[in-house]
Each structure stands twice: as structure tokens, then as C-alpha cells.
Amino acid sequence: SRVIYGARISLAIGVLATAMALFIGTIAGLVGGYFGGKIDAGIQMITDITLAFPGLLLAIGITVVLSPGFLTVLIALSLVGWASMARLVRGEVISLKEREYVEAGRAGGSSSVKILFRHILPNCIPIILVAASLKVGAFILAEAALSFLDLGVRPPTATWGFMISAGREYLKTAPWITLFPGLALALAVFSFNLLGDAARDHLDPKIKS
């Protein structure tokens, strides 16, 4: 059915946009948190500017400028989502870079790149996985909002947001046109939120202890 077909597009956008935001945010957080100084200040300034705008409003602005479409939605959501990921990773890096094993790596002559990707990044993976799980659900919801506003993937490609929007005219006579994609959207977002909570409970050492 169209609801199942729409799931492919909505889920693909959620996962791919999360991966793109994750890559940008992780690199920015690693570099800023580890090196500090002017590099960190510059990254934090860009992060603060990005976070100053409501995420959905910023995504709408980007899609309007670039013209709606699958790739545009991916770019818009990744540009909206990277900043929170960068701030999260930066905070973790700041706490990790003073650990003994990092100091031992420096004393042993390891390069900054080696220390970042061999010693620090692996210890950031738990919080990154938790944040990514929650981000997928948020991006699926954001994509639905953009499609509802006719700023997402263009018809005739079916997405949950577009189906909900198209069914508004038939709410009284055929409410299931809107109901089923709406339920699918809610279930998908709820599932990824549960996955994020489960990952946090399993990976967070403070909760486990």
C-alpha cells in the first residue's frame, strides 16, 4: 500500500539525514573539544548561531531557497541537526581528553589524529548512538512536516507527510486516508524514541551502575 511505500522514503530520509548530521557534528565536536582555543571558539559560534533558530523554521528556509526535493530535504535536515550533535560530542571530548590513557598517548608521541580516532572517539560512541537513535525519530517527524507543507519530496512520490496533507480534504468522508499514515508516523517516531531510551539505559555506565 501507499503507507508502506511511504515508509521507505520517510525512513530513508530519517536515517540518511541522521548519518550526515552525525558525521558533520562528530567531526566538529572532536576538533573543537580537543584543540580548544580559537578553533573551538569558531566552531561554537557557528553552533550557537545554528541552534539560535528553530530547527523546523531553518529547514523550511533552506528548502525554499534550494527548491523542494529528496536531496534538499536531506541537506536541510543535516544542516539543522549537526549542531546539537557537535555540542554533545564536544562536551564528551573535553571530559575525555584529560584522562590518563590520552595523556599516555601524548607522552608516547601519538599524533592528535591518532589520539582522537583511536582513544577518544571510541569512548564517545555510546552517547553518539543514543543521540542518533533519537535524531532519526525527530528527522522522520521533521520530514513529515516539510512534506505536509509541500516543501518535502515532490509528488507523485509518496511520503507520510504528503499523504496526511492530501487526506485533509476527505477527513469527513474518508478519514482513514489521513489516519493510517498518521498512525504509521507516530509509531515510527515512538519506536525510535524507545530505541534511544533502551540504548541509553544499556550503554550509560551511570545508569547501569
pLDDT tens sequence across 87-130 = 999 999 998 888 888 888 888 888 888 889 888 998 898 899 98
Question: Which residue carries 533558530 as its cell?
Answer: 53
Distances (CA, A) of 115 to 39, 126, 150, 199, 203: 18, 18, 46, 26, 22
Question: Which residue carries 492530501 as its cell?
Answer: 166
Distances (CA, A) of 103 to 34, 97, 98: 12, 8, 7
- Per domain, the residue ranges of the chain are 2-208
Where would I find the H helices in 36-120? 37-52, 55-66, 70-96, 100-107, 112-115
Question: Which residue carries 504509521 as its cell?
Answer: 184
User: What is the distance between the alpha carbons of residues 87 and 48, in angstroms, rounded to a whole number?
Assistant: 9
For the record, the C-alpha cell of 116 comes out as: 582522537
In tens, the pLDDT along 130-163 reads: 899 989 999 999 999 999 988 888 877 778 888 8
For the record, the C-alpha cell of 163 comes out as: 499523504
pLDDT at position 39: 94
How is domain 2-208 classified at the architecture level of CATH?
Answer: Orthogonal Bundle (1.10)
Neighbours of 110 (CB within 10 A): 15
pLDDT at position 105: 81
